[in-house]
Amino acid sequence: MKKELRLMKGNEAVAEAAIRAGADGYFGYPITPQSEILEYLMEANPAETTGMVVLQAESEVAAINMVYGGAACGKKVMTSSSSPGISLKQEGITYIAGAELPCLIVNVVRGGPGLGTIQPAQSDYFQSVKGGGHGDYHLIVLAPASVQEMADFVDLSFELAFKYRNPVLMLSDGAIGQMMEKVYLSPQKERSKVFPDWATTGKPATRERNIITSLDLDPNGMEMHNHKLQAKYNEIREKEVRYEEFQCEDAEYLLVAYGTSARVCQKAVLLLREEGIKVGLLRPITLFPFPTKRINELAGQVKGILSVEMSAGQMVEDVLLAVNGKVPVKHFGRMGGIVTTPEEVVENLKSKIIGG
């Protein structure tokens, strides 16, 4: 079926894609720069068309717990927020991870810490890929770099979430959420009428009752559960790594960047190549699992790597682990809601890596 072309904000694309993906429920709370997601859904009123439930909760905390309740019924449910709101959701997220429930969480990141700013940032990387709440767990983390990917990754997120019974986080930022670009929208999917066998949908006589919990008072049982979770994360590391390479074939230097920073770096690659400097860009699409293996391979080819993020240097730690000392790795990034420019990347690659 032909895809429909629209000009949309990243936030609107997430909302429209959720309806089209056959999502059953969205639960959210307003916060800049992502409120358009809830606004768009309220305006679209999918209850009348697909039957999707859209609810403005009393808090981020309530919203994520609504996601817990809906996900435990085997439904395709989601929430979205921006950094301070995502911090509030962490309790719910760790329960969801512990109870192994599928869902989608969208973070349209703004600068922090604290109330911070409403401008785009990438300073929630650690929170996203290392856990965020308490306990040993991981989210699957997808990093869209365009409005198109904001739409496409909604469906992909639900697919991965149900495949692994694991929450998926889309780690976006204020720039991608707020900007408009062309987007090709997938046709409407039917909402699923079948429930996974673990879902709490009312116990028929034919099965045991389903219990959704993250609690096991017996430490031996809890350790077993943790082993099971870790085995799942390892399987995800094995099978679900996604990344994009830009002009890496003959690269002597490598930029690693995701999301908005990757787009800035793409321009920087072009500027540097105009000067005859052979630079490539590796853009992780999944941040967990991280493209460790591929970065390690590229480290065997290049003379040095610059990790570019709109943060004080978070992803660079994963790049360092991947490179494992093969070549120098440095970080460059602006903070507090300032988007890096291609010229700054050029300058920093020269001073920190080429001349360093």
Query: Which residues of this protein are in contact with another protein, per CB under 8 A?
Result: 5, 7, 24-25, 27, 32-33, 53, 55, 57-59, 61-63, 65-70, 72-73, 75, 77, 91-92, 95, 99, 118-120, 174-175, 178-182, 200-205, 209-215, 260, 263-264, 266-267, 270, 339, 341-342
What is the smallest separation between the CB atom of 310 and another protein, expressed in angstroms? 10
d(CA 10, CA 231): 34
Minimum CB distance to another protein smaller for 97 or for 236: 97
What is the smallest separation between the CB atom of 292 and another protein, expressed in angstroms? 26
Burial of residue 177, with CB atoms counted within 10 A of its CB: 0-12 exposed, 13-18 middle, 19 or more buried: buried
What is the smallest separation between the CB atom of 81 and another protein, expressed in angstroms? 15
What is the smallest separation between the CB atom of 53 and another protein, expressed in angstroms? 5
Minimum CB distance to another protein smaller for 118 or for 335: 118
Minimum CB distance to another protein smaller for 39 or for 91: 91
Phi, psi of 210 (to 5 degrees): -95, 130
d(CA 230, CA 236): 10
What is the smallest separation between the CB atom of 171 and another protein, expressed in angstroms? 17
What is the smallest separation between the CB atom of 336 and another protein, expressed in angstroms? 14
What is the smallest separation between the CB atom of 167 and another protein, expressed in angstroms? 14
d(CA 137, CA 130): 8
d(CA 284, CA 163): 21
d(CA 293, CA 323): 9
Minimum CB distance to another protein smaller for 327 or for 335: 335
316 and 308 Cβ atoms separated by less than 8 Å: no
Q: Calculate the dihedral angle through the C-alpha atoms of 210, 213, 214, 217, rounding to the nearest 10 degrees.
A: -100
Residue 280 sits at the vertex; the CA angle it makes with 278 and 283, to the nearest 5 degrees, is: 170
What is the smallest separation between the CB atom of 299 and another protein, expressed in angstroms? 24
Q: What type of residue sits at position 180?
A: M
Minimum CB distance to another protein smaller for 201 or for 301: 201
Minimum CB distance to another protein smaller for 32 or for 226: 32
Minimum CB distance to another protein smaller for 31 or for 323: 31
13 and 44 Cβ atoms separated by less than 8 Å: no
319 and 298 Cβ atoms separated by less than 8 Å: no
d(CA 107, CA 87): 10
Minimum CB distance to another protein smaller for 43 or for 297: 43
Instruction: Kindly give the pairing relationship between strand 180-185 and strand 4-9.
Output: antiparallel
